[in-house]
Structure formats: C-alpha cells, structure tokens
Chains A and B, each alone.
Chain A
C-alpha cells in the first residue's frame, strides 16, 4: 500500500488517435473504453462549465491487488476541457473510474445519448458488469487562481502569475452507479473517427517503483558547481572577531518558495520527467501547505483515499508536441499537480435510474 510508482514518459504514439486497450496507461489520445462508448452517459464527457467536449488527459490502469480486495479490471480516466477559459475552473475537470464487479447482476442498459461519432462494434463476450464511478471535481477545489478569488492573492493583477503557481486540484469521488451489460474488454481496432473529438497529443507511460530515499542526495550531486574541499572549510576563520556564533538549524526558505514547495521540488528532481505518481492509500506530494482535506465519498460516505496524482511535466510535453501537430493543445492549463482521491471502500452501489 505504501509503495509508490512513478510514471515516466514513454514513446509517443504514432497517431494521437490510435487505439490501445484499457490496460494501457497513457496521456492524451482517445480514451479506450472497455465498454461501448454510447453506453457512457453524455454528461460525463462534456464540460460542466462550457458544455464543450472534454478531452482525455490521462488514462491509468489501476487494479487493486490487495489481500482484502482484488479488482483487476479497473481503470481511471481523467478529462479536462481544452477551452482556454475553462482550464482555470475546477469544475471543468473530471475523473471517471471504471471497474468490473465480481458478481453478475441484472443488466441495465443506460440510456445515454449516443454520440454520432464513435461507432465501434464490440463483440459481446459474456455478461460482465462494468460499473462506472465518476469522480467529480469538488466545487471548492483549490485552484490558485485570481478568478476563483483565491485567498492567497492580494490583487488581481497578479492572477496569471499565481495561476502558474501552486495549484493542486483535488477531485472528489462521486459515484454514479450504473450497470451495463457490456462487453468484456476486447477493444476493436477501428481507427477512423467520423467527427473530430478534441484529442491531446498522445504518449505512453511506463512505471518505475520509487527508489529508496537515499538516492535523493545522490541526485543533488548533479547540481554541483564547486569543487569541494571539505577539510578546507573546517579550519578557516581563525580571526577572533569573526566567529559565527549563535547559529541554529534553519528551515529552507527562498524568496519565492516555501519549505513545502522546496520539498516537493526535491522529490520532483529525483525524476525530473515524472508525469504520474501512483500510490494507492499513500500520501500525496503536495506543493502548498494549505491544501484541502478531501471529503467523504458522496455515495457511500466512506473516507476518500489518495490514489494518484499528475504533474506538470505532462503539460510541458503536451505543449512541446502541440507545436508540431494539429491536435488540441494544453496551453490553457497551468497547474502544478492534480490529485485524485478515490473511495476507500471501492463502493459499487447502484443508481436508481
């Protein structure tokens, strides 16, 4: 439970609309639903603020393999709105959790507006239940931005500078229960899309388990710009009037950055390219000290547990790629980290439709 997996960027997809399966962890591209796309409720895929189509930011294959709970078929999809103004609004972000339940039950077909574009044909392969849970943005999600009236800002003229600063969005989980008589996850190999869905440049993620913390000091050795002579410093300053007295331990502080942020940056520097950090039940890496505590799951009331977080190198890579391609761009976003909390009981209650 305490193990931390670092998601590092892997190869780019040849085509940002190419298909993979729901076992893939990737950034951008099109979501690989294990169930037919029309079965997914339309509202989940559209922005709550501007009603534009959301684009997939990250798709993470996240099974839970503990002794008490064994859910192999579980994936989390994180969506964001490419509209320039929506990026700063916490409401425009959405995360959806899809998992397969253990027992079969009476299938309910969800009546969602079928999207005219995706007409993939998935062969029915037995009655498995895919339960979808939606993690919705909390309205009071913390986004350090002048337009939201963040308490840290003194004047609105600095809105944009602060928007780039510490913004952690915590998403709360909101479970919508739906039961689909949908397919087993055999994803079709269709490639063509009729109507253009906004899609970000796509690259895949590979994971590495976080090494021991002793390596942090080793990494800081890369920053050296002095040749060290340790013994030279120990015996200097023999002048009587220049004794440095009265010094005690001091926490790190710089003009623009406080201790919490510096610790965050130190962790980031161990893997400068890390895009994703997965640690079910672990501790999130916060960039500010005044982050919110997540509320309880609104469906079952059990406390939320930290699962994963995205980092801003994602934005950097997406912006680099967007210069070269025609896919939609991530330029409107400027967060440092995006934290996703999920229900600790992994509840699968049913919605009366």
Chain B
C-alpha cells in the first residue's frame, strides 16, 4: 500500500468534495463513461430491488411481476422484459391553459399508448411546457402502467383467444365503456380513439358500447384502459381452481442468496387443502 495519506493531504485543499479528488477522477474500471455526453440509454442503474433482479436476469417475464402484484417503479424494467415488441403511439397533444396575471400559460398534454399487440398495454398522460418533453414523459409513464389484458373466446374454444372473455365495463369521469365479446372476423367495432388502445392490447374482435360525454376523449381513452385492466379482475369458472401460492421473486432470491450452495429451487410454499 502506498503512502497515500501522508502525501495527499498536503497536496490539495481541504474543501469539501476534494478530499480524494485526484484519485477519484481516475478510470472507474466499471466500464462507464464520464463527463461530456452521458450515454444514459444503455446505462441503467436500478434503484429498486425489482429493478436489480430484472437487470440481473433473474426475472424473465412480466407475468412473474404481475403474479405477485409488485409495483413497477422503473420504466426500464418494462423495456428490458418486453424489449422491442413494445410499440408506442402518440394519440393526441393538446394545449392546456392556465390563466395567470401575466397572461395565459400554455402547457402541452400528451396522451401516449404503448403495447405489444399481444396482451400488454399501457397508457401515459403527461403535461409539460414543451411538446417533446411531454411526449417523452408520457412514454415513460405509459411503460410504467403496462397491464396484462385477458383475452378469451366468443363461442367455441378453437385456436387462440381473440376477444374479451366476458362483458366488462370501465369508467372514467362521466364516460363508461363496455366491451362485449364478438365472434371472429367482427373486428374492433369502436370509435377511432378506443380502437387504437384495443389494437395495442391485442384484441382482435370486440363490440363496444359507450355512454357519457365521450367528447372528452381523455376520459374516453382512460375508460377504455380501465376496462382492459378489469379483464383480469373478473372471476370466471375456469379460475375456480384454488390458488397454489408460490414465492415472490424477492423471497425466492433472498433464499437463494442465503443458501451456501447456489442451487435454484422454486418451491410452492403453500397448498390450500380443500
């Protein structure tokens, strides 16, 4: 070990933050780049424990997160798990105004819907002073709100599910949207705005019925999104089978790390006896 302490102290000042300045500015050895242009896109340092597990690759699909109702607090989680399949689209940018003493202050509100057309959809709404900021912020919020969408059949259970499993209704403000299962080939029978959301969700055929002031399209699109969230909340006879609880990812990997031998055991901890 070199004589670091004695030499360095005389070298630079005692001001805060400079105690180890010259040593600190060496190569970080962690593969990162410093200064100038920071490349934020590739460098994701997870803040939450779930983020750390996703980054390490211990969680491979969003379904594991949904199964334990873990809140997703970092949009990079969804990016990592859904990757390139996720598409986004700006539905509307509209100016909202606020009256101030010095005139009107205009901000832009962006509505963005993201989805992979295969059972995952998210909706983000963001207000900002600039259009670009609003769009980017809305994309991030939409990714944070990605939910699973349950699809089912209208009649015979042949092929892949193509419509909603049952009649569901969602509400936001005064707008209520009702989704009704439709036979194959019916297509999405809806107004232009909710049709986009339903396409991103991966629903192929559905009848819709709406009520209320659908002119407030912000509420309309949120009501449709709320409706899609409810598809997995509806108890149908095929869900009557009793739940076999499994360990949440945190518990699983805590136990994994606590064990001296690193064998991966995924156990079902409880089984409810009839």
Identify which of A49-57, A131-139, A172-180, A250-258 touches chain B: A250-258
Q: Report which of A15, A161, A207 forms a contact with B69, defined as CB distance below 8 A.
A: A161
Q: Given A11-B29, A272-B44, A248–B96 Cβ distance below 8 Å?
A: yes
Decide: A226 and B40 in contact? CB cutoff 8 A.
no
Decide: A21 and B4 in contact? CB cutoff 8 A.
yes
Q: Report which of A11, A234, A254 forms a contact with B28, defined as CB distance below 8 A.
A: A11
A312 and B88 alpha carbons, distance in the complex (Å): 30
Chain A residues whose C-beta falls within 8 Å of the C-beta of B147 in the assembled complex: 255
Chain B residues whose C-beta falls within 8 Å of the C-beta of A217 in the assembled complex: 130, 133
Decide: A247 and B109 in contact? CB cutoff 8 A.
yes
B127 contacts the other chain (Cβ, under 8 Å)? Answer: yes
Decide: A228 and B45 in contact? CB cutoff 8 A.
no
Greatest chain B CB density within 10 A among A62, A84, A217, A243 is at: A217
Q: A-facing mask of B221-238, CB < 8 A → 1, else 0?
A: 000000000000000000
Identify which of A39-47, A109-117, A185-193, A345-353 touches chain B: A185-193
Minimal Cβ-Cβ distance residue in A for B22: A206
Q: Given A204-B24, A245-B216, A257-B71, A163–B5 Cβ distance below 8 Å?
A: no
A75 and B20 alpha carbons, distance in the complex (Å): 14
Minimal Cβ-Cβ distance residue in A for B112: A226
How distant is A26 from chain B, measured CB to nearest CB, in Å? 7
Chain B residues whose C-beta falls within 8 Å of the C-beta of A10 in the assembled complex: 20, 23-26, 28
Q: Given A9-B30, A10-B26, A164–B44 Cβ distance below 8 Å?
A: no
Q: A-facing mask of B26-46, CB < 8 A → 1, else 0?
A: 111110101000111101111
A125 contacts the other chain (Cβ, under 8 Å)? Answer: no
Q: Report which of B29, B45, B68, B109 forms a contact with A249, defined as CB distance below 8 A.
A: B109
Identify which of B152-160, B164-172, B201-209, B247-255 touches chain A: B247-255
63-102 of chain A: CB within 8 A of chain B: 63, 65, 72, 84
Chain B residues whose C-beta falls within 8 Å of the C-beta of A241 in the assembled complex: 215
Chain A residues whose C-beta falls within 8 Å of the C-beta of B88 in the assembled complex: 225-226
The contact sample of 7 A-B pairs, CB cut-off 8 A, is A20-B5, A158-B69, A161-B50, A161-B69, A163-B49, A244-B217, A245-B217
Chain B residues whose C-beta falls within 8 Å of the C-beta of A205 in the assembled complex: 20, 24
Where the two chains meet, the residues of A that have a C-beta atom closer than 8 Å to any C-beta of B are 5, 8-12, 15, 18-21, 23-26, 61-63, 65, 72, 84, 157-158, 160-161, 163-165, 186-187, 189, 191, 204-207, 209, 217, 219-226, 228, 230, 233-234, 236-237, 241-250, 252-257, 261-262, 265, 268-269, 272-273, 278, 311-313, 315-317, 319, 329, 331-332, 334, 336
Q: Report which of B45, B92, B137 forms a contact with A273, defined as CB distance below 8 A.
A: B45
Minimal Cβ-Cβ distance residue in A for B125: A250
Decide: A5 and B20 in contact? CB cutoff 8 A.
no
How distant is A172 from chain B, measured CB to nearest CB, in Å? 23
Decide: B217 and A252 in contact? CB cutoff 8 A.
no
B264 contacts the other chain (Cβ, under 8 Å)? Answer: no
Decide: B16 and A278 in contact? CB cutoff 8 A.
yes
Chain A residues whose C-beta falls within 8 Å of the C-beta of B29 in the assembled complex: 11-12
How distant is A290 from chain B, measured CB to nearest CB, in Å? 16
Chain A residues whose C-beta falls within 8 Å of the C-beta of B44 in the assembled complex: 272
Chain B residues whose C-beta falls within 8 Å of the C-beta of A21 in the assembled complex: 4-5, 8-9
73-118 of chain B: CB within 8 A of chain A: 73-74, 88, 90, 92-94, 96, 98, 107, 109
Decide: A226 and B19 in contact? CB cutoff 8 A.
no
Chain A residues whose C-beta falls within 8 Å of the C-beta of B137 in the assembled complex: 220, 252
A5 and B24 alpha carbons, distance in the complex (Å): 15
Q: Given A163-B250, A230-B132, A243-B215, A237–B49 Cβ distance below 8 Å?
A: no
Chain A residues whose C-beta falls within 8 Å of the C-beta of B191 in the assembled complex: 242
